[in-house]
Amino acid sequence: MDEICERYAGVKARVEDAARASGRKPTAVRLVAVSKFHPPVALARLADCGQRDFGESRAQEGCAKIAAVPDPALEWHFLGPLQRNKARLVAGRFHWLHSLEDLQTADTLCRHLAASNARLRVLIEVNVAADPRKHGIASADLFPFLEAYSARPRIGLDLVGLMTLAPHGGSEIAVRTAFARLRELACASRQAFGLPGFNELSMGMSDDYPWAIAEGATIVRVGRALFGERGAIPVADTQAP
């Protein structure tokens, strides 16, 4: 487990160095430890090292880990595509959702958030690379989506920014171009819709997070560089808590 703390120190230093190189304070970039398929004991050890933000992509697995590591100082991020029938598991347990891509899910989340008197910070996932294998709305659909989203209040949801995944196996130029495009879309959205607090850019993972920070990322999602390779047997995701 000491290896986890060593990896954490190395990743944290690279994040801070990249933030400084982009003219920002080291605290301007939030490091999310992507803990899916890793056991709760590894999460607890990383939390002991000082990590506070953890990301999960499967609702039931994430809820089980939240229950297993009941530290109120931790913030939990839901990263994967969210099915409407799993919205009840995310609302009231997770603090962030990085993958909003349809209005029906937003409405369902609002109902569950109202029932638990909770709030959820939300980012819209944009498929900047237009990769048919990836989730997220098309770049051209972002403004119509925001117009429809803003047409009425959605109590409990705080819309705070955008998220994207880099092109798989892309060159530095291709990856940075995608990240720069997301930054441009966020800036244009703020201007067009006057969105308060719409400042978060969730982009960059283990292989490309320094490039993401250089292009303005405020959140990077790092798994392998912190935890190492995933185990051969994933954590069970068979029962709701």
**Residue 148: inside a domain, yes or no?**
yes
Give the span between the Cα atoms of 183 and 188, in whole angstroms: 9
Give me the pLDDT at residue 153, please: 92
Q: What is the pLDDT of residue 231?
A: 55
Residue 1: what pLDDT?
Answer: 55
**Residue 137 and residue 101: Cα distance in Å, rounded?**
6
State the residue for tokens 């230093």: 13
φ and ψ at 46, to 5 degrees?
-65, -35
Distance in angstroms between the alpha carbons of the first and the last residue of the chain: 27
At 133 the pLDDT is 87
**pLDDT tens, residue by residue, 3-41:** 999 999 999 999 999 999 999 999 999 999 999 999 999
Q: What are the tokens at 181?
A: 């495009």
Instruction: Evaluate whether residue 23 is within a structural domain.
Output: yes
Domain that holds residue 181: 2-227
pLDDT in tens, 182-210: 999 999 999 999 998 999 999 999 999 99
Is position 233 within any domain? no
Mapped onto helix, strand or coil, the DSSP state of residue 49 is helix
Overall number of domains in the chain: 1
Residue 86: inside a domain:
yes
- Residue 232 belongs to some domain of the structure: no
CATH number of 25's domain? 3.20.20.10
Question: 34, 46 in Cβ contact below 8 A?
Answer: no
Buried b (16+ CB within 10 A) or exposed e, 40-73: eebbebbbebebebbbbbbbbbbbbbbeebeeee
DSSP 139: G
Domain assignment of residue 187, yes or no: yes
* Low-confidence residues in the chain, pLDDT < 50: 232-241
Would you say residue 142 lies in a domain?
A: yes
Residue 237 included in any domain: no
Please tell me the pTM assigned to this model. Answer: 0.93
DSSP letters, 73-127, are T-EEEE-S---GGGHHHHTTT-SEEEEE--HHHHHHHHHHHHHHT--EEEEEEB-
CB 103 within 8 A of CB 128: no
Predicted pLDDT of residue 229: 83
pLDDT of residue 233: 34
